[in-house]
């Protein structure tokens, strides 16, 4: 048991999927896992452990933004022995060829700042995904029928951004989408020697202003959960 996670020793699996929304964690656990058991409710951040094709899996919320994810990822790795952490969440597309409901597998995650900035100081560390997980996710995507894109994403510090110049710069440099957590997850994975990946569903588009209605978002995210699970145990 930690400050933010109430699970007992042994209740967290070595493979953890991390959506931002705790209710999405509950939905994913009930939809994809056999015999899911709630192992955390501290501060309303839900976590569930069950099995998928005989493999133990925990699906645990991370909250919104890198500082929140950093708390949970640190505790999952250091106190519960998590070895594989896959972020599953939504993102905004930043390229014309990326469509609503498409899946992005994040090879790298750029950022202006992360909670790890204080450690890196003057170093511009380049956080990236575990290649084995990334390759397995790309292969898994072929079996879902989802349109999958692989490349760099941008992890933003803010949701209500007022930097159109920065959006233009990211787009110009081929960044596929924007979200708020993956860069710090990749930093922590590198620091602690574990595997990490972000598999994201496009819920809105910064260029076209298209967006999934809120009631459609959850039901449209099944492909990325399936891809994440297949990649973790390939």
Is-contact 186 100, C-beta < 8 A? no
Residue 204 annotated in active site: yes
Residue 113 annotated as lining a ligand binding site: no
Residue keyed to tokens 């990334």 = 134
What is the pLDDT, as a whole number, of residue 218?
Answer: 67
Reported as a single tens digit per residue, the pLDDT across 48-84 is 999 999 999 999 999 999 999 999 999 999 999 999 9
Residue 157 marked in a binding site: no
Reference 127, options 189, 186, 67, 177; nearest CA is 186
Q: Give the span between the Cα atoms of 37 and 39, in whole angstroms.
A: 6
Residues near 78 by beta carbon (within 8 Å), at least 6 away in sequence: 192
**Residue 90, marked binder:** yes
Burial tier of 31 (Cβ tally within 10 Å: 0-12, 13-18, 19+) = middle
Distances (CA, A) of 14 to 79, 92, 225: 11, 29, 17
Q: What is the pLDDT of residues 100-150, one digit of tens each?
A: 999 999 999 999 999 999 999 999 999 999 999 999 999 999 999 999 999
Q: What is the pTM of this model?
A: 0.96
The pLDDT score that the predictor gives to residue 214 is 73
Write down all domains in the chain, each with its CATH number in brackets: 15-232 (3.40.50.1580)
The one catalytic residue among 35, 204, 216, 223 = 204
pLDDT tens digits, one per residue of 181-212: 999 999 999 999 999 999 999 999 999 999 99
**Per-position b or e across 109-130, b if 16+ CB within 10 A of its CB:** bbbeebbbeeeeeeeebebbbb
204 belongs to an annotated ligand binding site = yes
pLDDT, position 181: 98
């Amino acid at each position: 048991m930690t400050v933010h996670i109430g699970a007992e020793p042994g209740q967290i699996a070595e493979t953890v999927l991390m959506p931002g929304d705790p209710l999405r964690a509950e939905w994913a656990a009930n939809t994809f896992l056999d015999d899911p058991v709630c192992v955390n409710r501290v501060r309303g951040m839900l976590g569930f452990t069950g099995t998928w094709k005989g493999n133990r899996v925990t699906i645990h919320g991370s909250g919104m933004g890198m500082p929140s994810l950093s708390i949970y990822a640190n505790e999952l790795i250091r106190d519960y022995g998590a070895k594989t952490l896959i972020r599953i969440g939504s993102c905004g597309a930043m390229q014309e060829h990326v469509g609503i409901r498409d899946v992005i597998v994040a090879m790298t995650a750029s950022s202006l700042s992360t909670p790890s900035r204080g450690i890196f100081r003057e170093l511009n560390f380049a956080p990236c995904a575990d290649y084995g997980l990334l390759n397995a996710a790309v292969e898994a995507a072929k079996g879902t029928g989802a349109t999958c894109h692989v490349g760099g994403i941008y992890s933003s510090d803010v949701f209500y951004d007022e930097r159109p110049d920065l959006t233009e710069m990211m787009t110009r440099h081929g960044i596929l989408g924007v979200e708020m957590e993956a860069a710090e997850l990749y930093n922590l994975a590198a620091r602690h020697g574990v595997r990490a990946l972000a598999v994201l569903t496009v819920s809105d588009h910064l260029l076209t202003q298209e967006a999934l209605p809120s009631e459609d978002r959850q039901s449209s995210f099944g492909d990325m959960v399936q891809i994440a699970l297949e990649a973790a145990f390939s």
